């Protein structure tokens, strides 16, 4: 839906300006003026370039690597907007960093996802818009509304267009069954799981495939690909189990070392990722294809601004 309404203002930090521009295109509005730079000692400097008093403001800034720098930049932008009397500030965080630190899984460790939630709220965010949170319970860390979109629709269009037959959706580990089930339901195809089991104290793992993948095309799905360890191991196991072409659809491409090397060496035919995190030139690969999630965010922003339900985007 295209519209033009001067009461909606869209700002972008430096983390992913390309995605911000694509979202602004969908909304048919220009990105608002903001200067985000650094002082000589490295401190972040923010200057809002136009009047925001009484406006409905959306700030687009994934907290991807460098996580601390992008998070601090987002907090300072939100604070600047609050002090400039914006009516409402929505933090649009396509990739929510620190989401994997969502619980105390050992003694004397923090729950950093909760700390980040507190920081965003105290800074002045009144709503959070994100996609494919690593842990959905993080929504409960906030005392403000949280809209956690699902990236499956964008990937569904890709696979519909490419008409891949005999498809089976596979979770690379037991922890990812929920997201894999959502994909299998939307694609109307069977579901399988790669079950890892340690067999001795030297950390050797044996892979068990729960489900039928023999002579099938496989779609591995997950929310984050960091070092690509789970995906590369799972694809090797699936190939040994008789799978034909192996694809992966993963929302957030962190792609930390040695991810690219592993992707190049493993049996994956294609890794499809979204543009929630920008991929630098040193992380390029012929196997990687990026699809845009801008329309999903654009539609959600439209509905939030117009006080319409966004539940349709969750189906």
- 196 classed as catalytic: yes
The greatest distance separating any two alpha carbons of the chain, rounded to the nearest whole angstrom, comes to 63
Distance CA 34, CA 137 (A): 33
Among the listed residues 25, 82, 196, 287, the single catalytic one is 196
Phi, psi of 157 (to 5 degrees): -60, -40
The residues that are catalytic are 196
């Amino acid at each position: 839906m295209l519209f033009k309404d001067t009461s909606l203002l869209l700002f972008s930090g430096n983390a992913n300006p390309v995605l911000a521009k694509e979202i602004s295109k969908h909304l048919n509005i220009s990105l608002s003026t903001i200067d985000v730079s650094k002082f000589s000692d490295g401190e972040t400097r923010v200057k809002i370039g136009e009047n925001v008093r009484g406006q409905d403001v959306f700030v687009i800034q994934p907290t991807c690597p460098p996580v601390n720098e992008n998070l601090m930049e987002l907090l300072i932008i939100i604070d600047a907007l609050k002090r400039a009397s914006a009516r409402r500030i929505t933090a649009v965080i396509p990739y929510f960093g620190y989401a994997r630190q969502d619980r105390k899984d050992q003694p004397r460790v923090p729950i950093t996802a909760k700390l980040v939630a507190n920081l965003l709220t105290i800074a002045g965010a009144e709503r959070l818009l994100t996609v494919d949170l690593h842990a959905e319970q993080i929504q409960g860390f906030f005392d403000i509304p949280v809209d956690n979109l699902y990236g499956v629709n964008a990937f569904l269009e890709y696979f519909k267009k490419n008409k891949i037959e005999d498809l089976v959706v596979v979770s690379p580990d037991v922890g990812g069954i929920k997201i894999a089930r959502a994909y299998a339901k939307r694609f109307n195809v069977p579901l399988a799981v790669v079950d890892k089991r340690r067999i001795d104290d030297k950390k050797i793992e044996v892979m068990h495939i729960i489900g039928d993948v023999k002579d099938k095309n496989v779609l591995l799905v997950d929310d984050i690909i960091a070092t690509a360890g789970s995906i590369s191991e799972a694809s090797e196991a699936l190939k040994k189990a008789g799978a034909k072409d192996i694809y992966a659809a993963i929302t957030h491409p962190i792609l930390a070392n040695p991810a690219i090397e592993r992707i190049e060496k493993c049996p994956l035919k294609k890794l499809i990722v979204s543009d929630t995190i920008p991929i630098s030139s040193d992380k390029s690969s012929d196997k990687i294809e990026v699809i845009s999630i801008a329309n999903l965010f654009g539609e959600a922003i439209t509905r939030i601004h117009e006080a319409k339900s966004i539940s349709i985007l969750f189906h």
